[in-house]
Amino acid sequence: MGEVVFSSSGDLTRAKSAERQSRVATFLTTAAEGLFATLFPSDCRLCGAPLIRISRVPVCEQCLDQVRPITQAVCELCGGCLPGPYTLAGEDGSVRCGLCRRLEPPFERVAAYGSYDSGLRELIHLLKYEGMRPVANVLGRMLGEVTADVAPCFEGSNVLVVPVPLHSTKFRQRGFNQAELIVRAALKHPPQHHQFEIAGGVLQRWRFTESQTGLSRHQRQANIRGAFKVVDPERVLGREVLLVDDVFTTGTTVSECARILRRAGAVRVVVATVARVLKLEAAGAFVDEDAEREPLAMAARV
Ligand SMILES: [Zn+2]
Ligand SMILES: [Zn+2]
């Protein structure tokens, strides 16, 4: 009996002690966060609310939660907007936009996680123009979902992953290629890593391109022609390629990359991006992501 009392009182003591420890832990966490907020006063870079959690990404949970995948019906081939809700399926049963009906694009499919607006656009800019590399992990999780989504497009088990390259001058200025950082984060977690081989150097951007803003589709194609080259054709020959970029704006860049990769012998090219411009009529109002120059407002903040 004595033992039982002793034991239960011991349990009680331990329980009380555990409770106290957990209260202390909560207090310490709260105190640390308070201290963090005092020492490093920081607001969410998207909504301006004060940040109360310690994180390497200066964006609040609510803003991150608001970045959602695309849910509207899109072209099954290029991922773009469909002309209307009653678009009929083609002969093969696929739902294609007008452009993909008329022209056979050099890629097999384009898939993106979310629409390039509000939160997602800001997150990409934090990485690209403000050099906040931890944001690549957040974007990588999104790209990981896209990668899993397009994985059935590949027949083989060893896919070459090619991030859209930056010109060497741009690479030196920025210090990293955002597409490569994002895809490395995306493929960090199994079970995908065994299927994809990241090959950063096979494709090179060796010519600057002028701003694409305001150009017609044909002018954009002419503008970008010859900007990329495959420097390691043996690695591309006969391979299936996953081409990745942070954002799909007009598609001129990825189309040209896909064309060059196919010409070098890639059997198929599938494109995965984190974001995609869906409102094509508004594309002119967007910052020209295909241009080599940084938007002035962003460049000033670097
Ligand atoms: Zn926020
Ligand atoms: Zn399409």
Residue 118 within a domain = yes
Domain at 151, CATH number: 3.40.50
Confidence band, pLDDT 50/70/90 cuts, at residue 302: very low
Residue 34 within a domain = no
* Higher per-residue pLDDT: 48 or 32: 48
Quote the ligand 1 centre to 178 CA distance (angstroms): 22
Residue 35 within a domain = no
pLDDT digit string, tens, across residues 256-281 = 999 999 999 999 999 999 999 987 54
Quote the ligand 2 centre to 259 CA distance (angstroms): 16
Quote the ligand 1 centre to 49 CA distance (angstroms): 6
Domain hosting residue 115, numbered range: 63-71+105-301
pLDDT exceeds cutoff 90 at 255:
yes
Which of 32-36, 176-180, 199-203 is least confident? 32-36
* β partners of residue 245: 273
Quote the ligand 2 centre to 128 CA distance (angstroms): 27
pLDDT exceeds cutoff 90 at 113:
yes
Mean pLDDT computed over 246-251: 93
Which of 155-159, 165-169, 189-193 is least confident? 189-193
Residue 95 within a domain = no
Residue 2 within a domain = no
* The predicted structure's pLDDT at residue 93: 75
Residue 6 within a domain = no
Quote the ligand 2 centre to 157 CA distance (angstroms): 27
Quote the ligand 1 centre to 43 CA distance (angstroms): 8
* The predicted structure's pLDDT at residue 297: 34
CA 121 vs CA 4, 78, 125, 220, 247: distances in Å:
63, 20, 6, 22, 9
Residue 185 within a domain = yes
Residue 195 within a domain = yes
The number of domains in the chain is 1
